[in-house]
Structure 1
């Protein structure tokens, strides 16, 4: 049994990690300030003897020190996501994503945490046009959010080299799945499109719809976090890994897949028209990950392609609508 701290544990990815590791019999502490997470995501765990909820903010160093006490592994998911949010409010994004990240790193070092595993981002590839994206080849950041996530990697590397803290960064590529919030100004594209289509409203596609993404189902992300905990390969430490499927889908093709999946529940959804708007500032045109490094070093083998993940995600959204 491990003792695992999951920051942002009430969020989309964090709550799925809480559920998975509790089901594996581990002790799980969730640290969340509920800025973007929801108590409903973790309410079913509150009576579990192996689950502890700390309501607090990673921007408070004392809170971080309390959270890491007697912890073996930190899964750092807490962050303010969204490129548009960071463009609108770069100060708060930096406070949470950089200062909060550094607080967690330092607290983990002082507590002698065994390993610090953190959510990195494909946004770090910036304006690099090379495809597929290989971990060692990045470009210049295109948004304040991308800057913050790159700074995370730099800090983690420094903490590994100077202090000997074991770190592993997981560069998430467009994660989707159960519990991903479809509401709010900064909702991710898949839950937003699903919500619109289920309401017979036209989804608005930024640009001509030919931008492509490596959409990654939540269970693949859970697998990567577990592998990052379990690995004993020294090559895995103090580096970063793409966390993706290794396939890309245009937004136009994504909508076709979503409409087909949703039409099984309601045939009228197939006739909902699509609207195209302007391109969005800070967006990367194409994203496709090489997962060779994760396969070779961690033994990663993604179990869900896009269509399989969409089927499961749609079922969840339909049941919970």
Structure 2
């Protein structure tokens, strides 16, 4: 039995390079790009002018530029918006042809297979990159034949959801400011770097205490994911209701979900003062009852 397992993902790696790459991204992302050093990776968000997220990235230095890794839905919006003003800078923005695979398992075995030492958070390959997400969890950007054939993504996605790491589905794009998906708690927002697109809204949420929502990990007994509701053929968000006495009221929205071993796990944006013993259900599938799991990090801001 292999000491590590490879999983398919829908992630895309965006490569930003050129002499203006750092300054361009500094004006586009929530993260301070000066902190993105070789052999590290950080969280970052890309916002609209109104401060709503187009994408949540894992960003790392790579070759002569930076890799931004996110879901395919996020990448579609991110590439469109990043390229919009790139014509005014010496910067190239491309979607890499390499696959982005998830890996669960032993670090030493994976490193030996790839021929590298995985002691750093980010490790360069001849034509790719490895991000260490946890002691036994990795993202590998590499040619398709670098790793063994991939399994279904569900187990890897469940691990990401349990770690409360944000990833936006299509219905969640341009809906939330970064704090609503806990990007501040993951170190993905710099409040001292200066201006970037959407910065005014993000700063107002912090300094005026206007943010009233946060991202939570949910779980439910289920053998399959919830199919999103459709309205006139258009996919709608999976809305949640919370129990208040004998009644049910709007609670929030599910932005990611995966199933593993008879449990449905999800990430949901909910009121940030919600009691952790609250009961929730899917509005369009009320038989699916969710409970709130503990977050692996604190939401308290310094």
Per chain length, whose mean CA-contact separation is higher, i.e. which structure has more relative contact order (CA < 8 Å, sep 6+)?
Answer: 2
TM-score, normalized by length of structure 2? 0.27
More helix by proportion, 1 or 2? 1
TM-score, normalized by length of structure 1? 0.26
